[in-house]
Every structure is written in C-alpha cells, then in structure tokens.
C-alpha cells in the first residue's frame, strides 16, 4: 500500500465532504471528474467536472437528506494508480425515502493528484 496515496485520499475526503473547494482543488488534477452514481449522462450517471461542481453536488445531496448518510463497513484496496473503496451507506431522502446501499468508489490518481472519483451504488432491498 502506498501511504502517500492513503494520506492524500484521506485529505481529499475531508476537504471534498466538507465543501472545502480550495483544498479540494489543490488535491485534484485540473480535469478532475466525479462520475456520480446516478444521473442523465448515459452510460455513466452524472459526470461532474472540477472540484467546485463536485463539492456543490455533495452539498446538494446533503440538502435532500431527511436522515444523514451513515457510512459503515469501509475497506480500501490498492491497485496501481487506483484505490477501490467499498462501503455501506444508509440514510433517507425527503422525496424518495430510505436507502441502504453497498457502494464502490474507484479513485484514480495521475501523478500525485486525484484525476477521478467513480461511484457505484447497489441498492439493498428487503
């Protein structure tokens, strides 16, 4: 495991989820994209370009939540210039109700910066 990438990803996650666009910008490439788990950009979902647009989507999603997202069962797997993170996310949106998903984020590094975050959700039904 590359400790520099682990530390970089931790710093990115803190800044990204905290809507710290300035710090997020320092940690990503100029052409950074977040390939969101759903949306109109077939076949990818919703492609968000740049740290400002990606951070804004985190804020937008948070505003739609009735119950904050709880993350659990997180693990990281390293493969060359990528880190795969698996986790479970549970919460509730105002409009569509409760959700429980298993998820994978694929983080791709280019040099010492993040070039993309590609998110996949598998809905758990009961």
CA distances, 75 to each of 49, 55, 69, 85, 107 (Å): 26, 23, 17, 6, 13
The structural domains of the chain, with segments of one domain joined by +, span: 3-123
Share of the chain above pLDDT 70, in %: 98
Q: Over 80: is that where the pLDDT of 54 sits?
A: yes
Per-residue pLDDT, 37: 82
Mean pLDDT of the chain: 91
In this prediction the pTM is: 0.88
Please list, in sequence order, all residues whose beta carbon lies within 8 angstroms of the beta carbon of residue 91, skipping any fewer than 6 positions away: 65, 66, 67, 68, 69, 70, 98, 99
Find out whether 89 and 63 touch, Cβ atoms under 8 Å: no
Q: Over 90: is that where the pLDDT of 38 sits?
A: no
- Which CATH code fits 3-123? 3.10.450.50
Q: Over 70: is that where the pLDDT of 113 sits?
A: yes
């Amino acid at each position: 495991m590359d400790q520099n990438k682990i530390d970089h990803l931790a710093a990115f996650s803190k800044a990204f989820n905290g809507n710290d666009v300035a710090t997020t910008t320092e940690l990503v490439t100029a052409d950074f994209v977040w390939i969101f788990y759903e949306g109109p950009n077939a076949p990818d979902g919703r492609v968000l370009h740049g740290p400002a647009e990606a951070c804004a989507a985190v804020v937008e999603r948070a505003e739609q939540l009735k119950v904050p997202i709880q993350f659990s069962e997180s693990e990281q797997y390293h493969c060359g210039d990528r880190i795969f993170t698996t986790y479970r996310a549970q919460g509730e949106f105002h409009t569509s109700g409760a959700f429980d998903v298993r998820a994978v984020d694929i983080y791709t590094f280019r040099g010492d910066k993040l070039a993309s975050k590609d998110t996949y959700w598998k809905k758990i039904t009961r």
